[in-house]
């Protein structure tokens, strides 16, 4: 409930999350169940493909979270072990340059003995709904703030994160894989190999999961014949959370969306696995736990 309170009190905290699996059983390896389980808490959620993106997204997250049109907390998510325990060259920005991009935070409300106010007040049923409405509105308003913050970051530092979704070989893709996080890098390598074989496969990388970029996603996927979602999470009793969002966004489009629960608990996802997922989607087989070991059930 603490995370829900932080959003409800409109504190623009930025939290780094090295994503890992949730117990029980205890696992210290990677998937995205931890942050995904808080998708309804009111936090913005950014997902990084590599360590450079993870570093840069922190600056953008602070810029967006502290904007007066938003004033909500943000998760910057990067895959545990896969990224958090990997050496990778990263350009660190100079403090003077960061200060130009990210001005000092000037909170609208603060603890002040001369002007006392209450935080986290009790609400009766007469007003609670309006509080939730304002959080929802702020999350949706954050879309334009994210785009602006990303463009200004690109102008100053040369790396562009203004798009909440990012396509790879989408122009003529018949099968489009959709994913978040470091799995996108492996997927790009697999797509390059499949493209060399003449297969029309592409990737849509989701950089921002909350607010969910439904309109951007719908536009990017409009030309696909089929969609295969690589979900490194599971909404138990339902499907992968990313697939659920995509199916909702594409409802009525006629484009089939196949969900693959994959890589849970740190299980490796290799290029051959990505290729097999594409083959399954082409056959119309989906909505499954990929690589399930039935012999241990």
Answer yes or no: CATH 3.40.50.620 is held by domain 165-296.
Answer: no
Q: Could you give the percent of the chain with pLDDT greater than 90?
A: 93
pLDDT in tens, 23-74: 999 999 999 999 999 999 999 999 999 999 999 999 999 999 999 999 999 9
Q: What angle do CA 62, 66, 70 make, to 5 degrees?
A: 115
Band of the pLDDT at 106, cuts 50, 70, 90?
confident
**CATH 3.40.50.920 segments of the chain:** 165-296
pLDDT in tens, 153-196: 999 999 999 999 999 999 999 999 999 999 999 999 999 999 99
Q: What is the pLDDT of residue 117?
A: 83
Q: What is the pLDDT of residue 120?
A: 79
Top-confidence residue, 190 or 108: 190
Q: Could you give the percent of the chain with pLDDT greater than 70?
A: 100
Cα(210)–Cα(7) distance, rounded to whole angstroms? 13
Cα(18)–Cα(171) distance, rounded to whole angstroms? 33
Mean pLDDT of 81-96: 96
**CATH 3.40.50.970 segments of the chain:** 2-157
Question: Which CATH number is 2-157 given?
Answer: 3.40.50.970
Q: Which of 255, 258, 267 is nearest to 291 (CA)?
A: 267
């629960």: which residue's tokens? 261
The pLDDT mean for the chain works out to 97
What is the three-state SS of 171-206?
CCCCEEEEECCCHHHHHHHHHHHHHHCCCCEEEEEE
Band of the pLDDT at 287, cuts 50, 70, 90?
very high
Cα(181)–Cα(53) distance, rounded to whole angstroms? 10
Contact call for residues 232 and 264 (beta carbons, < 8 A): yes
Contact call for residues 48 and 54 (beta carbons, < 8 A): yes
Mean pLDDT of 13-17: 98
Give the gyration radius of the chain's Cα atoms: 20
């Amino acid at each position: 409930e603490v995370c829900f309170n932080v959003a409800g009190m409109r504190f623009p905290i930025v939290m780094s999350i090295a994503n890992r699996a949730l117990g029980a059983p205890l696992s210290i390896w990677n998937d995205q169940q931890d942050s995904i389980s808080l998708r309804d808490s009111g936090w913005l959620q950014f997902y990084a493909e590599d360590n450079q993106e993870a570093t840069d997204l922190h600056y953008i997250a602070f810029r967006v979270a502290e904007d007066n049109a938003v004033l909500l907390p943000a998760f910057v998510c990067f895959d545990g072990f896969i990224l958090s325990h990997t050496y990778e060259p990263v350009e660190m920005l100079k403090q003077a340059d960061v200060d130009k991009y990210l001005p000092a935070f000037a909170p609208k409300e603060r603890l002040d003995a001369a002007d006392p106010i209450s935080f986290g007040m009790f609400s009766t049923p007469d007003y609670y709904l309006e509080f939730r409405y304002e959080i929802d509105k702020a999350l949706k308003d954050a879309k334009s703030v994210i785009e602006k913050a990303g463009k200004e970051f690109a102008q100053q530092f040369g790396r562009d994160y203004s798009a909440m979704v990012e396509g790879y070989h989408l122009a003529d893709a018949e099968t489009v894989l959709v994913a978040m996080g470091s799995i996108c890098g492996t997927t790009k390598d697999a797509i390059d190999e499949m493209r060399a074989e003449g297969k029309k496969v592409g990737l849509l990388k989701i950089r921002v999961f909350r607010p969910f970029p439904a309109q951007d996603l719908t536009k990017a996927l409009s030309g696909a014949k089929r969609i295969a979602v690589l979900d490194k999470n599971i909404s138990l009793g339902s499907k992968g959370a990313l697939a659920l969002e995509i199916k909702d966004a594409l409802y009525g489009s006629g484009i089939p969306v196949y969900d693959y629960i994959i890589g849970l608990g740190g299980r490796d996802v290799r290029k051959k696995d990505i290729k097999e997922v594409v083959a399954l989607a082409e056959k119309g087989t989906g909505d499954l736990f990929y690589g399930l070991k039935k012999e241990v059930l």
